[in-house]
Amino acid sequence: MVNQKNLKTIVVLGTGGTIAGTATDASDNLGYRAAQVGVAQLMAGVPGMSEVLAGHALVCEQVAQIDSKDMSFAIWTTLALRVQQHLAQDDVAGVVITHGTDTLEETAFFLHAVLPAALQLQKPVVLTCAMRPASSLNPDGPQNLLDAVALARTDGACGVMAVCAGVVHSALAVQKVHVYRPDAFSSGDAGPLGFMEEGRLRQVKNWPLTLSHQAAISSEKIATIPAWPRVEIVMNYAGGSAAVVAALLQPLPGVVPLQGLIVAGTGNGTLHVELVEALQRAKQAGVRVLRASRCGEGRVLPVAGSVFADSKGLSPVKARVALMLSLMIDACCGADHSRSDVL
């Protein structure tokens, strides 16, 4: 029998995505419209949810309703503030976020970086998603939602993570690696945190005792910043040139000047000689440059005498988020605060 004193609340924050998408034809898994079903309706339609909740309360809140390819900094800020507020409540066991797959890894990293470590080390924040719309003949969203709620109420679970197709990934490692399969995510060579099996977590890695890549800036402070620093991503490839970097350095009316560049290098962050020259000119113009890799696994290893700093194991898209946060901290608190944790 369930002890009523141990019952808490699971909060589900909806942001849209394929998981809330619909198509006119149930066999159409491509021509759907994302973000059509509200999160409360989505959760109400999941068979077996009451059994997974096992008496715990469920609270749904619609934070946004978008296709995640259109994710914005404003939504990130609102989402972080709402997650933080809910986590601070004693009766909340954890937070689940429904999200599109396209930018899930970036949102997960952003939340990991900005949510207070003290809260993250006590309670879980679980992002989940779907590769098939809610109207599909065989939607993957319902099982992912069951797994996310079960994970959110797992004793000892903590930190920001994602669960998709029964696999639990940390915010630092998760990345989308397939354009169509339901098991579209991987943790690369870091490996997953665990697996959800029949409503239970089979854990294969320990929860983090400490958190890395934490930004020394609060969500509340971020909310006061009128325009985020502009950081772009360029890639190294055969026949690369200086043209893209030169174009990005040109001022545009109404556009924030370029402040940072992430370069997705080949292999261990190697760069075409013409691209190196262009990036050096950008650095001399005050643009911060970080070297990442376009490879899906591994991390860029530091090279003695390298002109550009490496991304400390972050993928290009996560390094971009980290650099934006670092530049915010530079502007708010001085450069000495930004180099130690988030990058």
Catalytic residues: 18
CB atoms within 10 A of CB 137: 10
Hey, what are 340's tokens? 């130690």
The CA distances from residue 162 to 20, 29, 125, 144, 208, in Å, are 17, 22, 8, 10, 15
Written as one string, the DSSP assignment of 278-332 is HHHHHHHTT-EEEEEESSSSS-PPP-TT-SSEE-TT--HHHHHHHHHHHHHHHHH
Spell out the residues 6+ positions from residue 127 whose beta carbon is closer than 8 angstroms to its own.
Answer: 96, 97, 99, 104, 107, 108, 111, 148, 160, 161, 162, 163
DSSP 145-209: HHHHHHHHTSTT--EEEEEETTEEEETTT-EE--SS-SS-EE-GGG--SEEEETTEEEE-SPPPS
